[in-house]
């Protein structure tokens, strides 16, 4: 054991500059704010600070909380920390590190029993929307609907859908209920939760809105019936737990990353994590926060930049503790040109304290900018320049050095399809895409049924997928049974509710139990014998898996094989396996879910949070009046912490619940390994690029309506400033090269809905002198590139020749001065890629339509161009059009299913017409 050998902290400190060192070695018993602009070594400082706490102050890792913004950031911190602490024997895995949400969920799992929070899983956004829909459909009484309808327009306005300006015309106020906008309501509820306001508290507020208050409490009740917590609940209920009981008294230091993006409840959580302690009449508080005001881009999620001030204020006013503020201003990431440009963008904003970031890189190249004539052309411009960069002689860049950052996710689509054509390999930085696949979702739903007997949503989704004969009528019946068993008529619950506000268990019902009693005919239903049998089978699948899981996880040792076996059992007996059939991709995705589940480590006893002696604290004293049935329940409800026997059986599923919740919180690793083998361009939203960096960054779509986004245009100045900070975050991701582009479209062009982009972004006005019109305008600048990147330029670097080729190809690629689309140099046309897919799909489809005829279809699509070209499908006799060997999809677009699937409906539809109508070659337009 080398744990006693002390690793010296000095070598670590030696790698820091003066400011960084000041921050790292700052007093650990007063609050510390580190203001770190982009590229100033924020993560480095944070990591060094943790190392300092571990080594110098000898704080055990399990007593340190670190909150990061994403799982990725947490992972990176651990990796870097491990490197620093190599051989010290300090187990960095014991650090309490993760996003606010995941840490909160862990705390709820461990200490939630006292507040009635056991057996909960985290709801996805879709679940939340579903719950709200159920509320609106069936939980609001006619009386309340009448009240809602009588509300003045002003009170309804924040909740009704799509700004339907009731321009006279009667507006059917009489009979119809107002159409409420789910998104808006969820946003409002989320906002309340972000400000730590519970439903019953809100109801008591004087200026509470009746509608919101009603829906909020009904929504919460339904969530809890399912034993689900939404994202905000994780924070809200964690705060409730830790503010009432000192369960976290073991925490000795708290670090918060990306502080500028914390909201009120997160600020309050931070205060609770870092409780002020009085030690020998000295007030102490050990907390370090890191952030940058200019990078605050989450106001839409109720982040408040004011938290910096609030923190200072909180400590000085309430605890007379002065926060130490350290500002880092040396930038190690970007060149001076990129930095100066970014700084100028921000300077346009009034009321901002000037930042003086100093680049540590001398030589530099101007950012490039261009205005293109259409959206497609812009995408081609990006693709062309990527190709140009990686194919420079002795290029300092490969594809993985390049990122394309966009404001809105939908902008990626054009890029994708253009990249497929150009054979530009790319990945979309989005961890969750995998978990939103249909088959993955289905499998996860089955796991949810197993892990959470209350998860009505999951049960309802699973019960008829694969088909078991439960149609909409049967589903509705089950829903009815669920809600009947969920709301007992005894008013004992109301009594408890008054004493213990929002104790979630009060409306608990076991969905699985309900189904069981239906199948045993204890609850009468209108199901026929067939349906009952089908239901029985379904229950048997869930119960069978539950048994296997229990066995697999009962021991203290983790048992991957047994877990895998349980998973397979569920996959097969549920019929999912058969349903997915021979689709190789889907099967692999299910395998991946299994792998993730097995990989997910069961937090062993020592790693988990310390136990907390509940009996030290009073359990609310409740007088119970009512029938004995209710009494038992109340006793059960209040006695949760003491129930060891019951707890044990639940433990097996606790593991599964953690896993499922972390999946929802996007906390799983992306286990794909091919990233290393094939360097790929990253396409990401700006928000997703936070904290990352690349040598080359493209920011397309710099037009009014895109960045700044259209919804901010007529908004307040704050809204515009948030957009500006978005741009700032994007541009400061770049190390060496920055490419900016805009396009303009004509007002009357085939744009639906969205306003056309007519002007370049206001953020660029007046900055032209800082920008170049094309990359490498002269020989010198090209040479700079090589020096800057530390690459040796080729001996025979012929600048003139390179530029000539660049210009010639530019016209060909970007401007497309040839109209022979299939034969443009360097292009793979949509034809090549989709031909094979088309043939496969056409064959399948035609066979399905005419099963008696086993021969291949008479006609297959001859040519289908990919988006963004007009998807025109022509049919030709099959013998004339046998796909050639080269018509396989390039490997680099495996991930890019969107690019191909955008036309999928058209592709699928076209062959469907074959047997009926396509007697002669027929052109199938797509409306």
Partner DNA sequence: ATTTCTTTACTTTTT
Partner DNA sequence: GTAAAGAAAT
What is the spatial distance between Cα 321 and Cα 323, in angstroms, rounded to a whole number? 6
Strands 873-877 and 859-864: antiparallel
Alpha helices in 205-261 (DSSP H): 210-225, 231-244
**Which of 83, 852 has the CB closer to DNA?**
852
> CB–CB of 8/86 below 8 Å?
no
Binding to DNA by CB under 7 A, coded x per residue (else -) over 822-861, reads ---------------------------x------------
Number of residues written out for the chain: 927
Q: Is 348 in the site for DNA (CB under 7 A)?
A: no
43 labelled binding-site residue? yes
Region from 250-258, 324-332, 684-692, 851-859 binding DNA, contact rule CB under 7 A: 684-692
Collect all residues with Cβ–Cβ distance below 8 Å to 873 and sequence separation of at least 6: 838, 861, 863, 864, 906, 907, 910, 924, 926
Of 650, 726, 738, the residue nearest 697 (C-alpha): 738
Among 277, 646, 746, 754, binds DNA (CB under 7 A): 754
Region from 245-253, 552-560, 611-619, 863-871 binding DNA, contact rule CB under 7 A: 863-871
Shortest Cβ 811–DNA spacing (Å): 25
Give 347: exposed, middle or buried? Use CB within 10 Å, 0-12, 13-18, 19+. exposed
What is the spatial distance between Cα 760 and Cα 172, in angstroms, rounded to a whole number? 44
**Which of 346, 907 has the CB closer to DNA?**
907
**Which of 102, 364 has the CB closer to DNA?**
102
**Which of 298, 482 has the CB closer to DNA?**
298
340 labelled binding-site residue? no
Region from 39-47, 77-85, 650-658, 864-872 binding DNA, contact rule CB under 7 A: 864-872
38 labelled binding-site residue? yes
Task: List, edge to edge, every strand of the sheet that includes 681-685.
Answer: 368-372, 734-743, 694-699, 402-406, 681-685, 426-428
Region from 195-203, 360-368, 668-676, 905-913 binding DNA, contact rule CB under 7 A: 905-913
> CB–CB of 569/563 below 8 Å?
no
**Which of 300, 617 has the CB closer to DNA?**
300
Beta strands in 100-165 (DSSP E): 121-122
What is the spatial distance between Cα 159 and Cα 178, in angstroms, rounded to a whole number? 9
Among 394, 410, 617, 651, binds DNA (CB under 7 A): 410
Of 880, 873, 882, 879, the residue nearest 830 (C-alpha): 873
- Interacting positions 132-191 with DNA (CB under 7 A): 161-162, 183
Among 871, 875, 910, 924, binds DNA (CB under 7 A): 871
Using the CB atoms, write b or e for 802-829: b if 16+ within 10 Å. Answer: bbeebeeebebbbeeeeeeeeebeebbb
Among 279, 350, 473, 529, binds DNA (CB under 7 A): 473
Shortest Cβ 837–DNA spacing (Å): 14
Q: Is 666 in the site for DNA (CB under 7 A)?
A: yes
Shortest Cβ 552–DNA spacing (Å): 29
161 labelled binding-site residue? no
Shortest Cβ 477–DNA spacing (Å): 10
Shortest Cβ 478–DNA spacing (Å): 12
- Interacting positions 214-233 with DNA (CB under 7 A): 231-232
Q: Is 713 in the site for DNA (CB under 7 A)?
A: no
- Interacting positions 75-134 with DNA (CB under 7 A): 99-102, 125
> CB–CB of 590/443 below 8 Å?
yes
Chain-centroid distance of CA 583 in Å reads: 27
Give whole-number Cα distances, 34 to 19, 31, 405, in Å. 10, 10, 27
Cα atoms found within 13 Å of the Cα of residue 250, Cβ hemisphere only: 15
**Which of 466, 877 has the CB closer to DNA?**
466
- At 896, give phi and psi (nearest 5°): -90, 50
41 labelled binding-site residue? yes
The DSSP secondary-structure symbol of 640 reads G
Q: Is 867 in the site for DNA (CB under 7 A)?
A: yes
Among 711, 801, 804, 818, binds DNA (CB under 7 A): 711
- Interacting positions 249-308 with DNA (CB under 7 A): 297-298, 300-301
Q: Is 27 in the site for DNA (CB under 7 A)?
A: no
Q: CA-based angle 518:645:540, to the nearest 5?
A: 30
Shortest Cβ 684–DNA spacing (Å): 7
Q: Is 901 in the site for DNA (CB under 7 A)?
A: yes
Among 221, 660, 903, 911, binds DNA (CB under 7 A): 903
What is the spatial distance between Cα 96 and Cα 110, in angstroms, rounded to a whole number? 13
Judged by DSSP in three states, 186 sits in helix
466 upstream amide cis, omega within 30 of 0? yes
Q: Is 733 in the site for DNA (CB under 7 A)?
A: no
Among 62, 70, 220, 427, binds DNA (CB under 7 A): 70
Judged by DSSP in three states, 548 sits in helix
Shortest Cβ 265–DNA spacing (Å): 10
**Which of 1, 529 has the CB closer to DNA?**
529
**Which of 692, 770 has the CB closer to DNA?**
692
> CB–CB of 681/695 below 8 Å?
no
Find the distance separating the first CA and the last CA of the chain, reported in whole Å. 74
Region from 627-635, 734-742, 748-756, 779-787 binding DNA, contact rule CB under 7 A: 748-756
> CB–CB of 236/198 below 8 Å?
yes
Q: What share of the chain is helix, strand, coil (3-state, %, to 5)?
A: 50, 10, 35
Among 360, 371, 408, 559, binds DNA (CB under 7 A): 408
**Which of 59, 478 has the CB closer to DNA?**
478
Among 604, 818, 840, 926, binds DNA (CB under 7 A): 926
Give residues in contact with DNA (CB under 7 A).
69-70, 99-102, 125, 161-162, 183, 231-232, 297-298, 300-301, 408-410, 430, 432, 467, 469-474, 665-666, 685, 687-688, 709, 711, 750, 752-754, 849, 867-868, 870-871, 901-906, 909, 912, 926
Q: Which residues are annotated as a binding site for ATP?
A: 36-43
Q: Binding site: residue ranges?
A: 36-43
């Amino acid at each position: 054991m080398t744990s006693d050998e002390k690793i010296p902290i000095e070598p670590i400190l030696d790698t820091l500059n003066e400011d960084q060192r000041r921050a790292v070695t700052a007093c650990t018993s007063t609050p510390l704010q580190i203001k770190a602009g982009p590229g100033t070594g924020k993560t480095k400082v944070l990591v060094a600070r943790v190392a300092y706490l571990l080594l110098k102050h000898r704080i055990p890792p399990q007593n340190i909380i670190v909150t990061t913004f994403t799982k990725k950031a947490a992972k990176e911190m651990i990796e870097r920390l491990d490197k620093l602490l190599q051989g010290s024997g300090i187990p960095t895995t014991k650090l309490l590190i993760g996003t606010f949400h995941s840490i909160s969920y862990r705390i709820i799992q461990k200490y939630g029993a006292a507040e009635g929070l056991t057996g909960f899983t985290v709801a996805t956004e879709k679940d939340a929307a579903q719950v709200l829909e159920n509320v609106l459909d069936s939980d609001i009484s006619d009386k309340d609907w009448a009240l809602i309808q009588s509300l003045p327009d002003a009170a309804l306005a924040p909740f009704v859908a799509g700004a339907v300006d009731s321009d006279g015309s009667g507006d059917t106020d009489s009979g119809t209920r107002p159409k409420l906008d789910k998104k808006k309501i969820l946003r409002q509820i989320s906002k309340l939760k972000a400000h730590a306001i519970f439903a019953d508290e809100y109801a008591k507020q004087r200026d509470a809105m009746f509608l919101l208050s009603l829906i909020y409490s009904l929504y919460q009740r339904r969530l809890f019936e399912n034993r689900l917590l939404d994202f905000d609940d994780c924070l809200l209920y964690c705060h409730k737990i830790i503010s009432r009981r000192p369960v976290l008294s073991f925490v000795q230091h708290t670090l918060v990353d990306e502080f500028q993006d914390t909201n009120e409840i997160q600020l309050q959580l931070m205060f609770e994590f870092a409780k002020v302690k009085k030690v020998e009449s000295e007030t102490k508080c050990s907390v370090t926060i890191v952030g940058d005001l200019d990078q605050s881009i989450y106001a839409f999620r109720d982040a408040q930049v004011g938290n910096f001030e609030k923190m200072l204020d909180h400590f000085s006013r309430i605890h007379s503790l002065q926060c130490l503020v350290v500002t880092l201003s040396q930038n190690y990431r970007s060149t001076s040109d990129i930095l100066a440009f970014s700084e100028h963008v921000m300077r346009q904003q009034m009321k901002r304290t000037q930042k003086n970031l100093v680049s540590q890189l001398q030589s530099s190249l101007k950012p490039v900018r261009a205005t293109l004539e259409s959206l497609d052309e812009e995408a081609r411009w990006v693709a062309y320049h990527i190709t140009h960069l990686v194919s420079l002689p002795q290029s300092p860049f490969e594809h993985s050095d390049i990122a394309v950052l966009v404001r809105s996710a939908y902008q990626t689509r054009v890029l994708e399809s253009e990249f497929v054509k150009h054979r530009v390999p790319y990945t979309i930085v989005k961890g969750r895409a995998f978990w939103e696949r249909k088959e993955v979702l289905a499998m996860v739903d089955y796991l949810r049924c197993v892990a959470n007997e209350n998860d009505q949503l999951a049960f309802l989704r699973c019960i008829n997928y694969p088909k078991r004969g439960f149609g909409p009528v049967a589903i509705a019946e089950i829903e009815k049974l669920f809600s009947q068993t969920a709301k007992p008529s005894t008013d004992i619950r109301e009594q408890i509710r008054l004493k213990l506000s929002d104790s979630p268990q009060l409306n608990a019902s076991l969905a699985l139990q309900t189904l069981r009693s239906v199948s045993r005919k204890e609850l009468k239903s209108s199901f026929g014998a067939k349906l009952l049998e089908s239901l029985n089978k379904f229950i048997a699948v869930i119960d069978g898996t539950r048994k296997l899981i229990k066995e697999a996880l009962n021991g203290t040792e983790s048992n991957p094989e047994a877990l895998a076996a349980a998973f397979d059992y569920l996959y097969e007996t549920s019929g999912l396996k058969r349903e997915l059939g021979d689709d190789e991709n889907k099967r692999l995705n299910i395998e991946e879910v299994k792998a993730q589940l097995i990989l997910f480590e069961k937090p062993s006893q020592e790693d988990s949070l310390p136990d907390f002696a509940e009996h030290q604290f009073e359990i609310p004293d409740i007088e119970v009046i009512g029938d004995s049935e209710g009494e038992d329940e109340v006793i059960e409800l209040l006695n949760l912490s003491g129930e060891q026997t019951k707890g044990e059986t639940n433990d097996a599923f606790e593991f599964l619940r953690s896993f499922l919740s972390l999946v929802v919180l996007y906390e799983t690793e992306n286990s794909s390994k091919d990233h290393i083998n094939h360097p790929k361009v990253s396409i990401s939203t700006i928000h997703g690029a936070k904290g990352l960096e690349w040598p080359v960054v493209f920011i397309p779509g710099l037009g009014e309506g895109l960045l700044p986004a259209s919804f901010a245009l007529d908004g307040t100045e704050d809204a515009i400033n948030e957009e500006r900070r978005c741009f700032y975050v994007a541009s400061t991701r770049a190390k060496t090269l920055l490419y900016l582009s805009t396009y303009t479209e004509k007002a009357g062009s085939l744009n639906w809905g969205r306003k056309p982009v007519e002007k370049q972004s206001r953020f660029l006005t007046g900055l032209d002198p800082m920008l170049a019109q094309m990359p490498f305008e002269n020989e010198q600048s090209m040479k700079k590139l090589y020096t800057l990147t530390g690459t040796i330029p080729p001996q025979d670097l012929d600048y003139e020749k390179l530029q000539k080729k660049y210009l010639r190809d530019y016209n060909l690629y970007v401007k497309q001065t040839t109209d022979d689309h299939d034969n443009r140099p360097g292009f793979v046309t949509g034809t090549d890629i989709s031909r094979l897919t088309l043939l496969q799909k056409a064959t399948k489809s035609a066979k399905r339509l005419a099963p008696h005829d086993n021969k291949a279809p008479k006609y297959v699509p001859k040519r289908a161009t990919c988006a963004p070209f007009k998807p025109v499908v022509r049919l030709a006799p099959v013998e004339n059009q046998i796909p050639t060997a080269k018509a396989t999809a390039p490997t680099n677009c495996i991930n890019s299913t969107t690019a191909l699937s955008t036309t999928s409906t058209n592709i699928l539809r076209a062959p469907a017409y074959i047997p009926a109508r396509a007697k002669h070659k027929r052109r199938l337009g797509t409306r």
